[in-house]
Amino acid sequence: MKDVKGIKIAFLAYTEMVNGLESTMKPEDLDSMINIINEEKIFEDIAYAKGKNADIIIASMHWGDEYARVQAGRQEVLADKLLSAGVDIILGSHPHVIQPAQRMEYDGKTKYVIYSMGNFISNQRIETLVPYGIGEETSKYTEDGVIVDINIEKNGETGEVTIKDVGYIPLWVYKGTTADGGTEHVVYPIMEYIESNDINDKTKARMQRSLKDTAMQMKVLQGSSAE
pLDDT of residue 226: 45
Looking only at the bridges linking them, the beta strands covering 98-106 and 109-117 are antiparallel
pLDDT of residue 34: 86
pLDDT of residue 24: 80
Helix (H, G, I), strand (E, B) or coil at 153: strand
pLDDT of residue 31: 77
User: Of 114, 28, 126, 32, whose CA–CA distance to 75 is shortest?
Assistant: 114
CA distance 181 to 17: 37
What are the boundaries of each domain within the chain? 2-217
User: Of 50, 59, 49, whose CA–CA distance to 13 is shortest?
Assistant: 59
pLDDT band at 214 (very low <50, low <70, confident <90, very high): very high
Q: Which residues contact 186 (CB under 8 A, 6 or more apart)?
A: 173, 174, 176
User: Of 177, 199, 180, whose CA–CA distance to 188 is shortest?
Assistant: 199
Paired strand residues for 174: 186
DSSP conformational letter for 108: T
pLDDT of residue 117: 98
pLDDT band at 27 (very low <50, low <70, confident <90, very high): confident
Q: Which residues contact 55 (CB under 8 A, 6 or more apart)?
A: 7, 8, 9, 152, 154, 161
User: Of 77, 90, 176, whose CA–CA distance to 125 is shortest?
Assistant: 176
pLDDT of residue 223: 46
CA distance 132 to 140: 14
- Specify the range with the lowest mean pLDDT, choosing from 9-13, 22-26, 197-201: 22-26
CA distance 163 to 76: 21
Taken as a whole, the chain contains a residue count of 227
Residue 50 backbone dihedrals phi, psi, to 5 degrees: -65, -40
pLDDT digits (tens, 9 = 90+) for 152-181: 999 989 999 999 999 999 999 999 999 999
**pTM value?**
0.92
Contact assessment for residue 57 and residue 49, using Cβ atoms and an 8 Å cutoff: yes
Q: Is 118 exposed, middle or buried (0-12, 13-18, 19+ CB in 10 A)?
A: buried
pLDDT of residue 20: 75
pLDDT band at 43 (very low <50, low <70, confident <90, very high): very high
Mean pLDDT of 187-210: 93
Please give the span between the terminal C-alpha atoms of the chain, in angstroms, as a whole number. Answer: 33
CA 59 to chain centroid, in Å, comes to 10
pLDDT digits (tens, 9 = 90+) for 75-104: 999 999 999 999 999 999 999 999 999 999
pLDDT digits (tens, 9 = 90+) for 100-159: 999 999 999 999 999 999 999 999 999 999 999 999 999 999 999 999 999 999 998 999
